[in-house]
Every structure is written in C-alpha cells, then in structure tokens.
Amino acid sequence: MTDEKKADLAGPGIGDYDELEKILPQDYSSLLNPKETQLATYAVKDYIEENLCKELNLIRVTVPLIVDVESGVNDMLDRDGSRTPIQFHVSNDRDKNPVDAQVVQAATKWKRMALKQFDMQIGEGLLTDMRAIRKDYFLDHDHSAYVDQWDWELAISAEQRNLNLLREVVRKIWKVLKGAETHVQEIFPQLKTDKYPDMPDELTFIHAEEILERFPDLPRKQREMAILQEYPAVFIIGIGWALEDGYPHEMRAADYDDWVTETTSEAGQPMHGLNGDILVWNPVTKRRHELTSMGIRINAETLVQQLKLSGQINMLEYPYHQAIVNNEIPLSIGGGIGQSRTFMLILKKAHIGEVSATIWPKKLKDICRAKNIHVIE
C-alpha cells in the first residue's frame, strides 16, 4: 500500500488507454451538438470572467505565454521534478543578445509579480486568460497537453493570511461557477436533465488530514472518490504538507501556495496549510473532477521553510524568490480555475476534447469515436 500511495501523489491516475476505454461512459450522447457546444462554451466563459471580476474585485490583464528561464517565474507544478517545461533558445541578434525561454506551465508566480507591476492595492487583483503547455501529462479524458485557466491573484494584508479568508474566497468562486451553470441552462434548457444532476448549491470544506482519517488505507485519488460519494462538491484544505501516514495529499511546489503554516480544524485539531482544491463528482464520467487549485501564497518565512523541506533552497537565488524574501511584492491569495475542465462539467461532457481544440493520439480519438464522443480536431 505504501508504494501505491507514493505513486498516487501526482498525475491523473489512469494507467493506460485500455483502462481509459473501460472508464469512459458506454451509453453517452452529448446534450449539445458541436455548434451548440461552442456557443455554450463562450456563454459560460463570458459569465465566469465578468462575475469573477465582480466578486473578487479583479481586472483582466494580459499574461505571458513564454518567460525568461533566469527569472525563475515559471511554475514547476510539483517538487519532484517530474513535470518540466518546454524550453528553447532565442538566438536574437545573431546570438549577441540571446534569451533562453520557457513556455509557461501556469502563471502562478508571474501573477504575484504582476500585482506590483500593475500597482494593485490590498483588496485589488487581476484575472488572466492563461494558456500553457504541460507536456508530461498522460492524455486522458480530463488531462491534455494544452492548458487553459482563469489564473487570478488578489493582494491581501498580513492579517488576512488565514483560513477564514480562504473559505470566503472559495465560496465566492463557487457562487460564480454555480451561477454560470444556471445561466447557460437558461440558454440551452436541454442541459437540465435528471440523467446528469446539477452541481450542488454549496460545497463542503474538509481537511486532507480528515479525509485520511476516514480512509486510512486508500491512496489519495481513491480517498477523493470515496469522500465525493458523500459530498458531491468539496474543498480539500492543506495540500502539500506530509499527513499522518507520511505522505502529502498531493505534491505541491514549494514556492507558491503556503502548505506549512499551522492551522486548526473546525473540530480543534492541529493542521497545516492555507491552500486547497475544489473537487466535484462528475455525473457523466462518474469520477472525481478537479476544477481549481488555489491558496494563500507563501510569505518570506514560509518560502524558506518550504524550500528547505523540499531540498530546493538554491531557488532563493532567482529574482522572484528574492522579491518575496525582501518583501518587495504584495502578499496575496490566488489560484487557477481550469477553463476546459469547467466547460466539460457544466456542459455535461464525457471528454475535455469536446470543448478544447488540441492534440490527441490516434488511439484516444478512436476510443472516443467508438463511444460517440466528438473530439474537436
């Protein structure tokens, strides 16, 4: 069981396409045709962007697709080195003024730097329409190499670095996602169906340690599947800190979310972490479905703690990390909401390729075709 838990710390959890073929629904029929799907997708997108800005006091800003390697601003996604960015050399001026660049994997660190660049005060923030490439995923029903996210960041005070603020922001985000579902069903009433229940009105907050206590013998993804049978929408708090069994609920990079700060559960139990994920039960795929990772960001103290724990103290040399240590950029809370994942859930689709144009192997496209799943090509 130990080896299984260790292997479960990152990645989608589906081993191969034979397994995926069994997982995808047998009796699937999309509630929207391809043209309607495009119209519905942008109805959801426009609603969410407008209302995230209203609820969290954000403005929309531009975001980079590529960043300078030396900046240290790219997102490594985890801390075991298993997910590396695409890197290339820009020779520029016959290699007299070259730049080594990386395609972003997420805009997590860039956004926090951008708070200063755009002079955001406490209580103000930004929203991006982020695009990224993550080449190390296994391409299945809800993971692709192409990533689109609503990456957002909000400047906060030192006094706001607590679970109360985290919960407040999560509730606002859930309100927007639920509102988007209601909005698109008014345009396309066929999306309201007893076959696939709607998202619940409220989500449940639960700490990763509490889920482990409930299901001590299960690896992480199976624990998530089990808790979602009881609560169809949850926010799992405290992802990154090693739990009672010696493993974190999931690996988290050491230099964006704060997963070391000591907290207390609602039952009074000592816990760690000011971050978490929104997960829901997907009634179409009948599996766990992650919508967003988010959290209160590290400060100077917790950055050093987390880099030491992950054996990455050398990263303090990067400009981004120096800016945090020297308190040169705002304290913040932020996250990334998967756009295609959200469209897939709200439009009740079986595959992320139905709402996102990207590359898929022939094997996967053949499986989808046989199951009446229209993957955009």
Task: Give catalytic residue positions.
Answer: 75, 134, 149, 277, 290, 293
Three-state helix/strand/coil letters over 15-43: CCHHHHHHHCCCCCCCCCCHHHHHHHHHH
Q: What is the DSSP letter of 298?
A: P
Work out whether the CA dihedral 16, 211, 285, 346 comes out positive or negative.
Answer: negative
**Residues 6 or more apart in contact with residue 33 via CB below 8 angstroms:** none
Structural Rg of the chain based on CA atoms:
20
Structure tokens at 75: 């997102």
Burial 105-137 (b: 16+ CB within 10 A, else e): bbbbbbbbbbbeeeebeeebbbbbebbbbbeeb
**Residues 6 or more apart in contact with residue 203 via CB below 8 angstroms:** 170, 171, 174, 231, 233, 234, 235, 278, 280
Beta strand 287-296 pairing with 332-338: antiparallel
